[in-house]
Amino acid sequence: VLYTRFRNHSITEHNPLLLPDGTRIEGKVSYKRDNNHFFGNWINYSSFVLSKSLLEKMIKEEEASYKNNEVKIKVGLEDLSLKKYKILDFLVMVESIESKDYKN
């Protein structure tokens, strides 16, 4: 699950998640006001479910086309970059959990 958090953004600007290959993923959006009642900000939260195979595909496509350390995505109107090493670390963790469960 990928979580995002933005201040002072319209909720409609949080969907969808657009991947480099044009894949659209609709997410769940929630919002709340921060603790400052007089000058507080709205904080909008979004969550998107990304499969293991989709993450692997993102890494491979980015390696082939850009040869850089980041994967570019778009959440609503916001352009974001994910560090490739964080995605790879996550995939390694998932792989180790899957192999551990398989042995048991």
* Amino acid letter, residue 17: L
**Total number of domains constituting the chain:** 1
pTM value is 0.60
**Distance from the Cα of residue 23 to its chain's centroid:** 13
Domain that holds residue 27: 2-103
Q: Where are the beta strands (DSSP E) in the chain?
A: 2-7, 17-18, 24-25, 28-33, 42-48, 70-75, 78-83
Q: Inform me whether the pLDDT recorded for 44 exceeds 80.
A: no
pLDDT digit string (tens) for 45-85? 777 888 888 888 877 765 555 567 888 888 777 788 888 88
Which comes out higher in pLDDT, residue 80 or 102? 80
Burial of 20 (0-12, 13-18, 19+ CB in 10 A): middle
Which comes out higher in pLDDT, residue 57 or 11? 57
Q: Are 59 and 87 in contact (CB under 8 A)?
A: yes
